Structure 1
């Protein structure tokens, strides 16, 4: 295998692993008891920020833009690891309230966040120019909400 091919495969592995981690944390967040979701939410937001930052870095690199590690993009990595690191320190509360309807709908739609983010940030053209993608996304969103 060529060295360039190995580098490309390795570069693609980071965002794929990030999307997988975000999906797992979202599922665990949904399964957590009410009042114990804040640490999981912080960890999920951290991994989601990491995924967005890695996808942006990968896209820049594939477009031939180099030297972005010293740019504001580095703040995404710092913020991501800060959220993940602070997640065990967040308080848990005991609550007997039932989840509201909007909150329950948000929990149902959460698993679509990493996939949508990966598609959105890895597109080579605007999503609005692809009517099939927009139609499928709207259909899936409406099915998940009902």
Structure 2
């Protein structure tokens, strides 16, 4: 059963095992607000065990494109289509959030984004490969983010 993320009443449901659960919940709510404002889409997440295909799809992109394997376990995931885009979100126990935007028609509009919850260190597997910019969020405090673009096809 999925959990509908509420960005007006932030909850740690599903994220309790994270050492930065409150900050990760704020980051998840921030993503939900973005999706609602940008695409009029309601973010529904499910436990990683119930979203194995989504977790594997994102892991394959990370491994193939940048030789990245995230050490922290995935707590929750979501995947959905909006317009011509396939979007996937993963939320990790460490406080990391990864999203993939995959335009099936335009390879120039494909990217992987990383966001770090307030209070977490940059994961070792990302530290040498990316620089992170800071942004402020009312829901999530200080978010650090980075991304990379890719053009290869990764059917889901």
TM-score category (smaller protein):
under 0.3
Answer with 1 or 2: which has the greater Rg. Answer: 1
Q: TM-score, normalised by structure 2?
A: 0.24
Higher RCO structure, 1 or 2 (CA under 8 Å, sep 6+): 1
